[in-house]
Amino acid sequence: MKKSCETLQETLLDVHYGEAPMTKELKDHIKICRDCALFWEELGEISALMDFPETADPLSPLVISKILRENTSSMQKNRPMRDLVFFMTGSAAFLGSVLYLSLSGHGEILMKTYLFIFLISPITLPFIAKQQITRGA
Ligand SMILES: [Zn+2]
């Protein structure tokens, strides 16, 4: 890299941060010098990456879609929809089997099952609570 290019790229950095004006000399040099053109292009890419929603125009459609995309990906990490589907499937299977047993005249099995559930579920509650707390939910 030439010495003049180094100085000009420092000036380009100042231009990028609004501390120096873009002169005709700089523009002309970017047009003819591949290194400095690449440097200027990289500065533009960096500023695009650093364009955080907090500092950007809050009503910009690009910012809104970026925020929506981030929220959607974080929701996929938490997987609440999968848990809901799992819970609903389990509940439907349980209620279906209860309905089947009561309609087919197996009242005794049904009563024993209920008794089993009412005796076992209070014992499992502290374990479920501990699991929820350690998971941070
Ligand atoms: Zn140059």
What digits encode the pLDDT tens for the residues 10-20? 998 998 888 88
Q: Which residues contact 47 (CB under 8 A, 6 or more apart)?
A: 16
Q: What is the pLDDT of residue 112?
A: 86
Q: What is the pLDDT of residue 49?
A: 54
Kindly tell me the burial class for residue 124, based on how many C-beta atoms sit within 10 Å of its own C-beta (0-12, 13-18, 19 or more).
Answer: exposed
Find the 36 Cα to ligand 1 centroid distance in Å. Answer: 4
Phi, psi of 99 (to 5 degrees): -60, -45
Find the 11 Cα to ligand 1 centroid distance in Å. Answer: 11
Find the 89 Cα to ligand 1 centroid distance in Å. Answer: 66
Q: What is the pLDDT of residue 32?
A: 92
pLDDT tens digit sequence for 53-103 = 555 555 666 666 777 777 666 655 667 888 899 999 999 998 898 888 888
> Mean per-residue pLDDT for 108-121?
85
pLDDT tens digit sequence for 22-36 = 889 888 898 899 998
Find the 40 Cα to ligand 1 centroid distance in Å. Answer: 10
Of residues 129 and 109, more confidence is placed in 129
Find the 1 Cα to ligand 1 centroid distance in Å. Answer: 8
Find the 18 Cα to ligand 1 centroid distance in Å. Answer: 20
Q: What is the pLDDT of residue 134?
A: 85
Torsion from C-alpha of 70, 72, 73, 75, nearest 10 degrees? 120
Q: What is the pLDDT of residue 47?
A: 59
Q: Is the pTM value of this prediction over 0.75?
A: no
Find the 38 Cα to ligand 1 centroid distance in Å. Answer: 9
Find the 19 Cα to ligand 1 centroid distance in Å. Answer: 20
Tokens for 127, please give them. 């374990």
Give 50's DSSP letter.
T
